[in-house]
Structure 1
Amino acid sequence: MSRIGKKPVELPQGVTAEVKGQTIEVKGPKGTRSFTATDDVTLAIDNGAVTVTPRGLSKRARQQWGMSRSMVANLVTGVSQGFKRELEIQGVGYRAQMQGKVLKLALGYSHDVDFVTPDGVTITAPKQTEIVVEGIDEQLVGQVAANIREWRRPEPYKGKGIRYKGEVVFRKEGKKK
């Protein structure tokens, strides 16, 4: 039995949800998102909360039960609060700045890296060594942050590169004589 799936998803103030068949559409102050569940689960709204129940006891129905509940919870969180990923840049001469919808990264290459901001995400650079990625879609925010980090992942010897805020980079010792 799914421990996650059993808990109903509470709808906060200002968030409304509507179920049409297997599709749930959630509207909030930050925007509108929708999710289509598989036929293995049933979506219902009662008393200001969304409940997900399995349609049987098969293994697939139990798998989809917890996953569908998590997806609905992410929709509600996204339209009410939004999601945020913060990145730090470490290294001499490494910096970032926004120019319109383009993030310009100086990462030690012979050229600057231009990263175009995709739709549904906002990128800001409050400092030259910080990047903040925000949006209402958790998957898209995480993917954009991972794509930016991919340009220069933190290396283990000096710790230079782009890392998530609070990420611990395992440091290695250099060669000995």
Structure 2
Amino acid sequence: MSRIGKRPISIPSKVEVTINGQQVAVKGPKGTLSRVLPSEVAVEQEGETILVNRVNDSRPARQRHGLCRTLVSNMVEGVSTGFQKRLEIQGVGYRAAVQGKNLILNVGYSKPVEIEPPDGITVAVENNTNVIVSGIDKEIVGNTAARIRAVRPPEVYKGKGIRYAGEVVRRKVGKAGGKGKK
């Protein structure tokens, strides 16, 4: 049995959960999220907790049990507190700015790269080199942060590029300088 799937989800005081068959809708102070869960799992609300159970013991049901519990838990957490990802830009002359709601990145290309965040996602910049992506849907926040990082991933020789806050980039040693060659 899934250890994660067995754990109940506690509902904060300001959050409302509506379960209509396989449709789960969560409404809180930050917004509203809804998701249709697969038919292999059943969702029940008991007082201030939500339980996600398997319908049967088939392999697909066992595979989706913990996943669906985590998805519902992330929805509850997202509408109550929200999620954010931080990115750091390293490199001489590399910087970011917000223009309107779009993110403008100057990361060594001939032209600035403009990224338009999806609906429900806000992008902020601190000190021209720290980018903060925030929103209520954990999946979309993570995908947007990954799209920003993919513009210029950190390179292994000098460490220049866009990286997640706290990400460790393993550095390589450059060429030996031609010693011993003739």
3-state secondary structure, aligned to 2:126:
coil
SS in structure 2 at match of 1:74: helix
Q: Unaligned 5+ residue runs, structure 1?
A: none
Cα deviation for residue 156 of structure 1 reads 0.3
What is the DSSP-based 3-state SS (H/G/I as helix, E as strand, rest coil) of the residue aligned with 1:4? Answer: helix
Amino acid at match of 2:130: E
Paired AA for residue 21 in structure 2: G
Which residue does the alignment assign to 1:59? 59
Aligned to 1:35: 35
Structure 2 match to 1:90:
90
The offset of 1:117, in angstroms, is 2.1
Aligned residues: 177
Unaligned runs of 5+ in 2: 178-182
Aligned position for 2:130: 130
Runs of 4+ in 1 over 6 A off after TM superposition: none
Q: TM-score, normalized by length of structure 1?
A: 0.98
- The CA distance in 2 between the partners of 1:142 and 1:51, in whole Å, is 26
TM-score (norm 2): 0.95
Specify the alignment match of 2:25 in structure 1: 25
Query: Residue deviations 1:17-52, cap 9 Å, x none?
Result: 011011111110000001111111111000211101
2:146 pairs with 1:152: no
Q: Distance in 1 between matches of 2:145 and 2:117?
A: 11
3-state SS of the aligned residue for 2:134? Answer: strand
Could you tell me how far apart the structure 2 residues matched to 1:39 and 1:119 are? Answer: 28
Q: Deviations over 1:40-65 (max 9, x none)?
A: 11110002111011111111111111
